[in-house]
Chain A
Amino acid sequence: MAVKIGVMSFAHMHAYAYTAAVCKLPEARLMGIADHDPGRGREMAEKFETRFIPSYQELLKEDIDAVIVTSENCMHKELTIMAAEAGKHVMCEKPISTNVEDAKAMIDACRKNNVQLMTAFPCRYSPAVIKAREAILAGRIGEVLSIKGTNHGKMPGGWFIDKAKSGGGAVIDHTVHVADLMRWILESEPSEVYAEISNAMFHDKYDDCGMLSITFENGVFSTLDTSWTRPKSFPTWGDVTMSILGTEGVIEVDLFAQSFSLYSDKDMAAMWPGWGDNTDYWLVKDFVSAVAEGRPVSITGEDGLAALAVALAAYKSSDAKAPVKV
C-alpha cells in the first residue's frame, strides 16, 4: 500500500525536490497540492500531474496519510497543527518554526493526535555525512575537539528576507542544517552560543551575515558561518562543510563537492553542477517508509526545535554582545 501524500504550499523552493521525490517513489503517491497562492498551486499541480485543491482544509479531508509542509516559516505552526488534528503525519520544512512556542505547539499537537512530526533536514542523508558520523562514533579520530562549519548561500530573496514570514535572515535560514548535523554527529546538545551578525552584504533590514560560535555540553566547540555571502555570479548556490578535529585525526566533509566545472557561453558564467546523491530524495523516502512501517521518524520535531534554539540564541547573543545559554 502506497503512502498517500499531500503537499501544503510551494512557498519554499524545496517543495519541488520533495514533491519530485514523492512522484519517483513507488511506495508513495502524490494525492494533491494545496497552496494559499492558488496561481502557484495550480501551476505546480499541473507540473506534477496531480490535483490542485483550493484549500488546506479540503486537502486534509482527502484520503491521505501524510503531508509535506513547505510554506513560509511563519505558517508551519498553523498548517502542521491543522494536519495533526486531521490525523495526518507531517514532514515540515526547516526551520521548524520562527520561535520556540510555535515549535512546542506543533510537537504537542502531533503527539496528542498520534501522528508523527518529522523535520526536513536532508543533510543527514548525505553519504559523506553518514560515513563521517560512523567514523566518529567508531572512534576513528579519537575524541572530537572541535568542528568548523559553514553553510554559505546566495541571498534567496522573496519571503526569506521578510522577517514576519521567515523569522529572520541568514542566521535562521542557515544555522539549523549544520547545527542539526553537529548535534547528530556529537550526540551532545548545544549549551552556549556567541554570534557576530551583520547586514553588510545587502545593507537592509534583515541579517545576511552570521558567524556563530557554538559550544556543546560535552565541551566540543564549533563555529558556523551562516552568511549569504555567495555573489550572484558564484558557480553554485552555496555550501555545507564541516572540518571536524579529533585527538587522533581530522575529518573534512564538503557535502556538495561531488560536482564538475561547467563553462557555458550561454550564461557567460562558470557553474558547478552537482552529481552526488539527491539528499532530498532519501529524506522523503525515509519519511515515507517511517509512515508505512509505523516506526518513529528519524528526525523529530524535537530535533527541529533544538536546531532552531541555536539560531534564536545567536540573535540573542548578537543583541546582548555576549555568549548566551541555549
Chain B
Amino acid sequence: MQRVAIVGAGGMAGVHGAAYAKMPNVKPVAVVDVIPEAAAKLAGTLGVPSFTNFDEMLKSASPDVVDICTPTPFHKEYAIRAMEARKHVVLEKPMARTLADCRAMIDAANRTGVKFMVAHVVRFFPEFAAIKEQVESGAVGKPAVVRTTRGGGHPGRWFADYDQSGGVILDTIIHDFDWLRTTFGEVDTVFAKGLIDRCLPNLDYALVTLRMKNNVIAHVEGNWAHSTSGFSVKVEVAGDEGLIDFDNKKSVPLVISAPGAGGKETVPQSPLMEDPYYRELKAFIDCVESDTPSPVSGEEGMRAVEIALAAIESIRTGKPVKVGG
C-alpha cells in the first residue's frame, strides 16, 4: 500500500486525486496547498486531511509518495524537500522553468535514491501509444514529416504569467516535444515563431519546427488563443510508405446532449476504462512497488524542457537553435 500526498490543489491535483482514489494499492493521505480553501476542498473530496504547510504534512501524514501539482516555479523546492525526506516523487510537467532546476532535481533523486517521475501523460494516452507502436512497426515506412496540434482557449490564472508557466510552449506543447523525442529520437534544431513577447492578454500561440537528428521534420502548433471547437489534438505522421492521421474531434464515440447548468449542453466524450492519468500514475506506483526504473525519468523530463526553452530562445533571437549543442 502506497500512501500518497498531493501538493498543490489545482485542476491537475484533482485529476491525480481521482486516479489515486481508484487504485486498490494506493491510499491518498493528504492534500497541501498554500490556499487553505483549495486544500480543504480537494482534501474533502478525497476524505483526507488538508495542510497549508508542507513539512507539517510530511510529519503528520507520513506519505510514501509525494505528487507535486503546484505551478511550475515551485516544482524544484517541493521535489527536493520531498526527496530529502526519502519520499518518491511524481512531478507534474513541465519539470521546471530552467535547466538548472531540472538538474538539481535529478541530482537530488540520484543522491537520495528515491523514484522520480515527470508526469508526461501524453505517453499514456492510448492514441499516442498506438501511433508510436504503428510507427515503430513500420506501418508508414520511414517517417518524413510529423505534424502535431494541441490547444484551445487560454487556461488563464497563473498560466497567463509567462514567468511562471513559460507560456504555451513550455506548459502545453512540451507534451508533444516529449512524445516526438520518444517516438522519433532526439531533436537537432528548433526554429519557432510565437506570441510570447507580444504581451497580448490571454493569447499565446506558437508554431515550432523541429529537425530531428534522424532528419524527420516535425511541426508543432501550440494554441492558447481562440478555438473553433474546444480543445484540439491532432497528429499526422507521414512516412515514405504511408500516413497516420489522428484528430481528437473525429474520435468521439459518445456525445451527450442534455439540459445542463447553462441550458442545453452538448458534450462529446471519448471515455476509457482506465484514463491516461490513471495509467500514468499506476505505472509510477508499480515502479515504486516493484523497484523498477521510473516510466519517465528526470533526464527525460529535462530533455523536453530543453526543447521548449530552445523554441522560446528561437522566437527571441529569430534564429534556429541547436539542442544539446
> 1/0 contact trace for B193-215 toward A, CB 8 Å?
11100101001010101010001
**When A and B form their complex, what is the total count of cross-chain residue pairs whose Cβ atoms lie within 8 Å?**
103
Given contacts A225-B145, A230-B243, are A247 and B209 in contact (CB under 8 A)?
Answer: no
Given contacts A198-B217, A225-B145, A229-B145, are A213 and B243 in contact (CB under 8 A)?
Answer: no
B228 contact set on A, CB distance < 8 A: 250, 252
B240 touching A201, Cβ below 8 Å: yes
Given contacts A196-B209, A213-B193, A227-B144, are A233 and B221 in contact (CB under 8 A)?
Answer: no
Q: Does A122 contact B (CB under 8 A)?
A: no
| A interface, size bucket | 35 or more
| Minimum distance in angstroms from A256 CB to a CB of chain B | 15
> 1/0 contact trace for A215-234 toward B, CB 8 Å?
10000011101010111011
Partner of A249, one of B209, B216, B226: B226
Chain B, 210-259, CB within 8 A of any chain A CB: 211, 215-217, 219, 221, 223, 225-228, 238-243
B147 touching A225, Cβ below 8 Å: yes
Q: Which residue of B lies closest to A250 (CB)?
A: B226
A325–B193 CA distance with the chains assembled, in angstroms: 16
Chain B residues with a Cβ closer than 8 Å to the other chain, count: 36
A197–B243 CA distance with the chains assembled, in angstroms: 19
Partner of B217, one of A203, A211, A250, A322: A211
A323–B200 CA distance with the chains assembled, in angstroms: 25
Q: Which residue of B lies closest to A248 (CB)?
A: B226
B242 contact set on A, CB distance < 8 A: 231, 233
A230–B142 CA distance with the chains assembled, in angstroms: 14
Q: Which residue of B lies closest to A146 (CB)?
A: B205
B49 contact set on A, CB distance < 8 A: none
A192–B238 CA distance with the chains assembled, in angstroms: 27
Given contacts A213-B209, A223-B209, are A200 and B319 in contact (CB under 8 A)?
Answer: no
A245–B228 CA distance with the chains assembled, in angstroms: 11
B215 touching A198, Cβ below 8 Å: yes
CB-defined A-B contacts under 8 Å, sample of 17: A148-B207, A148-B221, A192-B318, A194-B209, A196-B211, A198-B144, A200-B216, A209-B145, A211-B217, A211-B219, A213-B191, A213-B193, A222-B207, A223-B207, A225-B145, A249-B226, A250-B228
Interface residues of A, Cβ cutoff 8 Å to B = 141, 145-146, 148, 192, 194, 196, 198, 200-203, 208-209, 211, 213, 215, 221-223, 225, 227, 229-231, 233-234, 243, 245-250, 252, 321-323
